[in-house]
Structure 1
Amino acid sequence: MSQQITLRDAMRTLNLTRDGLADRLGVSKRAMDSWLLPDDSNEHRSMPTVVERFIAEILHSGPKSTQSVQSRSSVAGSAHLLSVEQFSRDSLEDLFRLADQMQPIARRQKICRVLEGAVLANLFFEASTRTRISFGSAFCRLGGSVCDTTGFTFSSMAKGESIYDTSRVVSGYVDAMVVRHPDLGAVAEFAQATHIPVVNGGDGPGEHPTQALLDLYTIEQEFSRLNKLIDGSHIALVGDLKHGRAVHSLAKLLGQYRGLKISLVAPAALALPDTIANLAARNGNVIESFDSLADGLAGADVVYATRVQKERMGGEVIEGYSADFQLNLAAVEAWCKPDVVLMHPLPRDSRPGANDLSTDLNHDPRLAIFRQTDNGIPVRMAIFAQLMGVADQIPHSLREPAWRHPHQVGPDDAGFHTLD
């Protein structure tokens, strides 16, 4: 493993910030920052061997188990990934440790072919752009190939075929499935009909587990840069908290952390369901509801905005969601902390009157939405590696790419985008 992965693993396992780990090791904060920089940075420095040995000793004698995720062959002990409720705090950290190992592959710095010969079926019965392409890209980056289908029109379900029959038939053609379906519980039905891995790509108003996992991984990465821990932080969830499956899954995952303040910022008509709020309130987390941005954003370390899910409302009238709920530059400057992290599961609705996350924040370095989407690749690669039982092969199967790859993906990426 690279020294960056080793250091991030130590911070995660010991639940320490960058500065906290530097103090534990007895080194300067400047040295720690130089060790965490990418290898191609002019300010990168190699970590002394004695420090590596000291870290290994600390982790070996630490209170938490450091069993490698490579020894696991499935996601949180299951053959499928259907819900974030499958995860414990330890299994989350296992997954994120493996996602760290996937970063060089996701960033086009390394090539891996551990899934060569495997075929993924992307079965999307509901519109998708980034989720479908992200899953396909993640599988291909590990050497597999992908078959796509989108919508009911081009599916035999339009002819009356059952979920059971569709799942069983497709299972004979491929080695894993990602399913998105507009009906709650439909993805679980696919899983019940097969022994090959099934991943929930979104089931109606239910869950979007991989989105929440990449969201949480992004928060951890952003906090690493900002010298913060997720435990004890303040996270504001803004917008359509009633219908948004991504925010439902994220709220459940936040319940695995301790001492959080979670601000729910939405009009009463779009409030987070009580059953989900109760899961978020575990481990001493404090849940507070607000009906204005000014009150809900004050002191937040993360603001997670969501789009109004009109496609799930079935004629339901939206009351109280006005322009006052739009997260724009003026609102951020007026009410947010200078180092706030701004997130959104995307897509955001940029049309006039949508009152979604504003495009006037596009060049603000606090906007993490593109770093967030980029993180979907290593997280989904880690999921496939666990489900397909190849996690232990990753470190030994890397090679250099033959093509030119970008140092930063977007021309407007903030300068810290490549930091580990």
Structure 2
Amino acid sequence: MFDNLHRWLILRLAAVWLVLSVLIGGLVHYFGNARLDNHVVNMAETEAANYSAEFTTYLGFPSGQTLALLNRKIHDIFDRGNFIVVEFYDAGSNKIAEVVKPSAKAVETRLPKHTSDFARKGGVRRQKMMVGNETYLRVFVPINSRTGTKLGYMEGIYHAPEEIITQIKRQTLWSLILLVLVIFVTSLSLYPLIIRLNRKLIDYSHILAQANIGMLEVLGSAIAKRDSDTNIHNYRVTIYSVRLGEKLGLSNTAMQGLIKGAFLHDVGKIAITDSILLKSGKLTDEEFEIMKTHVRHGEDIVCSYDWLKDAVDVVRCHHEKFDGSGYLGGLTAEAIPLNARIFAVADVFDALTSRRPYKKPFSFDVSTGIIRESRGTHFDPAIADLFLEHAASFYEELCREDEGLLRGKLGACIRKYFG
């Protein structure tokens, strides 16, 4: 069980680590790219502001002398900066000055063209472009007077410095690696904590299971004391049912319901008066109708407690018969729950081979003969045949054991199927 838990937990923590790494890593990558874009824009706008200041000075006093001064100053800025193309236009979109780096012509042919709307829109405009692994920014800066009148504009292509791009990308990558490691370490640190908490939960569950099983035995003992003054029938019929269920390959969950139902099959007899329950002679028809209600009483009892609800199949249907002649529902064939069909064979066989106040025990041969004759009427033929195939070994194991040994065998069954 713990091996399965470890495997399950490792797979779940790995899945959580992977999902969180992808989701949060995606956010880190997104914000890293946004930071890179903002940094490039800020650098481009800062450099563009130097050009705008010189151009604004020229537009204030346009002349051949100030134009020559403008060209000299913008060449100085251009040589030291990262713009590869800078163009200056007056308010009528007439080009006044231009500076171009030798590499610009090869780059310009590969850049997407922009429409005239790019220059006509108000405010500073930017357009990011990629050429291979290189990042470029087309920038439009309007030049306005203090009154807001358009004096002209500057347009340029900014080449983002590769070292800056590389540095920011490296920082983003390290942030991503650190994040993935933090998530991994956090997931890893949760592993022993979850295991420890699970062990405590299993301990508490075991205590609760023991309490439930103790309650099961108390209920079974209470009805046994009223009915036959011994637990031995409950022990034996439950173990017969378990052995038959094992031969049928029932799941652990089904076996749990079978054990509970077999041990509490007659719990409804608590509601039957002593005058009927303990009567040594044959019951009258009226008394038998009252006796049959123990099935309904038993169903009410086990359904009132969640842990016992899987016992209801046996408690409600253990007197049903394969041909529909049983009670209370008159169910037939596979309409009768499987656990009830299993228990019916075990219950009748134990009743036949046991001493009762009103009868001596039948021999093994007589008892198996009655089971064989009742296949298809009282019993499911397939289950009856399987029981008869192993009846000798079941009988040898259980029929002559005393109450203490039978209780020990039942305890082993409970440990096996209830953990």
TM over 0.5: no
Q: Which has the higher helix share?
A: 2
Tell me the TM-score normalised to structure 1 length: 0.21
Structure number, greater radius of gyration: 2
Tell me the TM-score normalised to structure 2 length: 0.21
